[in-house]
C-alpha cells in the first residue's frame, strides 16, 4: 500500500510539474506574439492613415487611401478616402463586418475575406491581432531574410478571423514580425506577408511596421502593399462602432 501510494504521489507530482511547464511555455509564446503585435498595431486606440497599392505582374495597378480607427474589444472603423470610394465605411465588431455605402441607409454584412483592393481583404486592413485571436505553438527556429527567427504556428481561437491558420516568423532579437504564411479555411496557402520596419519609433522607442507586403499564392503575379503612413492617438466614442449610427453619421475628422 505504501509503495502504491508513493508511486501515485510521484506520478501526480510529475503530472503537475509537466502541466505547469506547459502553461509556462504557452504563456511565453503568447507574450512573444503580443510583442510582435506591438510593432504592427502601435496603439489600442488611434488613427492610422493607410495606403494600399495593388500590383499585377510587378506593375502598379491601383492605389487607394483609408483612415483606420482601432478600438479595444476587437472593434475597428475604416473610412474610404480615395475619390472612387469616398463616403464608404467599413466597420468591424468582433466577428462581424459591415460595409456602409453613401447611397444606402442599410449597412451591408460582409465577410472578412471580401476584397477592398487587389489582394488586400477587409480582414487584412483591419489587421489581425495575433496575441488575442490565435493560440501559438512552437515550430522551432529558422533564419528568414537574414534574421534568426522563432517559427510559430498560430491557430485561430475565434471564427471571424480572415485566416484560421498562420505560420509566423518572429525575430529572436526584439521580437519584430518578419514573415507570415496566411492559410484559408481549406488550409491552402493564400498569401505570404512580409513586414518592413521604419526608422520612426513609438513612445516606448520601438520601431513600427511601415509596410506589409502581401504576395498572393492563389492568383499568381498579384501582390499588394499596405503602407501605414502615420499613426496618431485619437479615441472615437462608442457610437461610431454601431452600424445603425454609422449609416446616418458624417465621417469623423
DSSP helix/strand/coil, 27: helix
Flag whether 25 is in a domain.
Answer: no
Flag whether 207 is in a domain.
Answer: yes
Q: Report pLDDT for 110.
A: 84
Give the C-alpha distances (Å, rounded to integers) separating 165 from 68, 172, 237: 24, 21, 33
Q: Single out the residue of 176, 133, 173 nearest to residue 154, CA to CA.
A: 133
What is the DSSP secondary-structure string of 137-202? Answer: EEEEEEEETTEEEEEEEEEESSTTSS-SEEEEEEETTT--EEEEEEE-TT--EEEEEEEEEEEEE-
Q: Single out the residue of 155, 152, 217 nearest to residue 178, CA to CA.
A: 152
Flag whether 147 is in a domain.
Answer: yes
Flag whether 253 is in a domain.
Answer: no
Share of residues in the chain with pLDDT > 90 (%): 40
Flag whether 12 is in a domain.
Answer: no
The pLDDT tens digits for 188-197 are 999 999 999 9
Flag whether 56 is in a domain.
Answer: yes
Which band of pLDDT confidence, cut at 50, 70 and 90, is reported for residue 3? Answer: low
- Of the listed ranges 15-24, 81-90, 164-173, the one predicted with least confidence: 15-24
Q: Report pLDDT for 9.
A: 52
What mean pLDDT value characterizes the chain?
Answer: 83
Mean pLDDT, residues 200-214:
80
Flag whether 169 is in a domain.
Answer: yes
Say if pTM beats, i.e. exceeds, 0.95. Answer: no
- Of the listed ranges 7-16, 65-74, 172-181, 229-238, the one predicted with least confidence: 7-16
Flag whether 126 is in a domain.
Answer: yes
Give the C-alpha distances (Å, rounded to integers) separating 93 from 70, 87, 128, 152: 10, 20, 13, 27
Structural domain for 127, as ranges:
40-246
Question: Would the pLDDT of 67 be above 90?
Answer: yes
Q: Report the domain count for the chain.
A: 1
- Residue of higher predicted confidence among 238 and 26: 238
CATH label of the domain that carries residue 170: 2.50.20.10
DSSP helix/strand/coil, 14: helix
Dist. CA 187–CA 225, nearest whole Å? 23
Burial profile 162-186: b = 16 or more Cβ within 10 angstroms, e = fewer: bbbbbbbbbbeeebbbbbbbbbeee
Amino acid at each position: 500500500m505504501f509503495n502504491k501510494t508513493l508511486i501515485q504521489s510521484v506520478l501526480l507530482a510529475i503530472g503537475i510539474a509537466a502541466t505547469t511547464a506547459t502553461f509556462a511555455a504557452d504563456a511565453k509564446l503568447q507574450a512573444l506574439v503580443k510583442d510582435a503585435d506591438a510593432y504592427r498595431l502601435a496603439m489600442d486606440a488611434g488613427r492610422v492613415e493607410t495606403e494600399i497599392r495593388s500590383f499585377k505582374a510587378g506593375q502598379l495597378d491601383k492605389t487607394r487611401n483609408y483612415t483606420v480607427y482601432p478600438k479595444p474589444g476587437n472593434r475597428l472603423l475604416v473610412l474610404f478616402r480615395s475619390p472612387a470610394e469616398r463616403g464608404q465605411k467599413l466597420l468591424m465588431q468582433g466577428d462581424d463586418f459591415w460595409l456602409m455605402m453613401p447611397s444606402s441607409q442599410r449597412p451591408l454584412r460582409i465577410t472578412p475575406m471580401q476584397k477592398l483592393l487587389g489582394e488586400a481583404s477587409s480582414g487584412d486592413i483591419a489587421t489581425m491581432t495575433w496575441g488575442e485571436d490565435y493560440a501559438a505553438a512552437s515550430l522551432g527556429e529558422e533564419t528568414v531574410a537574414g534574421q534568426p527567427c522563432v517559427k510559430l504556428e498560430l491557430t485561430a481561437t475565434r471564427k471571424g478571423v480572415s485566416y484560421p491558420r498562420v505560420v509566423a516568423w518572429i525575430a529572436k532579437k526584439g521580437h519584430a514580425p518578419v514573415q507570415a504564411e496566411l492559410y484559408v479555411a481549406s488550409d491552402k496557402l493564400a498569401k505570404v506577408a512580409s513586414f518592413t520596419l521604419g526608422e520612426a519609433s513609438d513612445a516606448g522607442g520601438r520601431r513600427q511596421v511601415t509596410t506589409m507586403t502581401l504576395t498572393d499564392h492563389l492568383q499568381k503575379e498579384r501582390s499588394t502593399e499596405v503602407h501605414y503612413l502615420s499613426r496618431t492617438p485619437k479615441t472615437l466614442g462608442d457610437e461610431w462602432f454601431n452600424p445603425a449610427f454609422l449609416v446616418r453619421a458624417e465621417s469623423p475628422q
